[in-house]
Amino acid sequence: MRHHYWEPPIALYLFLGGLAGGILFISALFNSFVLPGSAEIFALPVLVSLVCVAIGCVFLVVDLGQPGVFWRVWTTAKSIIKWGATFLVIAAVFALLFFLAFIGDAWPIFAGLSGFLKPAADAFLLIAGFFGLCIMMYTGIMLSTLKAHAFWATPALPVLFTISAISTGCAAIVLSIGGWPMTATLEGLLLSEVVLDLLHVVDIVLVVAELIVLLTMVLSFLGAGNVTAKAAARRWVRGSYAGLFWVGMVGLGLVVPLIMYLGGGHSAASQIVAPILVLCGGCLLRFMVVNTDDRAEIPGENRYYNRVAKKDAEFISKWTYGDNEY
């Protein structure tokens, strides 16, 4: 049975949240453990993550139906959304502090604030990166806890979403690393090139891993899943979603970027086109998964929905308050 209660804003929220988490996690990982002292080159990617968080939160609050009472998310003891919202807020606060530590390089008016925050910039980014990892994991866990939806209730989904989030995070960093507000210096340019080379290798591994997990999850549902999951997987593999799945997600979103990464080096294909395709593929993945909300029918459910008035029913369109004609 399919009644779509999760609208497109939720898919965008999951994508943007995972993307922001991936950017923060990769930036923190590189700055703290791979190339210590390279924090400045990640200022613009962190700003991109902040924009993603802001837009994603707008979509989430609007989709709640009552934007004015969004704060109730934190007062509901068993709400899974509460954890995601908390992770987003903490990550955003420390990401903003990190970014402000370098904004004085471009805008001297903020030089005093940046000078005050810069000594703690590495710690800010590390904390933001940890909660970025939590955000990435949460986006898949939130769906997998909904046991009624057979296509979501699998341990593979959080793994898939986490790998995809890290991969899209790498792609976003490749497109933005070393930009404003970083001061253009030889050392900064060299560090950016080193990080780009490393991210090139990392994303190859991630794309291969995502391809394996994605195909394993979908094909296992097709071959051994229950009736509901099998019907959903069949729609992906050879049904109405087959074009989006094979051409959009697997082909353009994973295989083509992988080929560009393997053969492109420092070409525009590997540093611009491939990351853009990875981002589009990650977004398409969330839309397709969220829209695949098939679940087994509850006894009597179809009978109920068949009796519910349609939106264009005459009495609904013509009735006004106080009028008992119908």
d(CA 95, CA 7): 29
What is the per-residue pLDDT for 69? 65
pTM across the whole model: 0.88
What is the per-residue pLDDT for 209? 97
Rounded (10°) CA dihedral 79, 135, 10, 171 = 180
Asked if 172 contacts 275 with a C-beta cutoff of 8 angstroms, the reply is: yes
d(CA 156, CA 215): 11
236, amino acid identity: W
What is the per-residue pLDDT for 106? 80
Neighbours of 38 (CB within 10 A): 21
Write down the architecture of domain 8-296 according to CATH.
Up-down Bundle (1.20)
Locate the domains of the chain by residue range.
8-296
Q: Chunked in runs of 10, what are the mean pLDDT values of the chain (326 residues)?
A: 67 93 96 89 94 87 67 68 85 95 86 92 96 92 82 90 96 90 79 90 95 94 82 91 95 95 82 94 94 74 70 66 54
The vertex-271 CA angle with 204 and 274, nearest 5°, equals 60
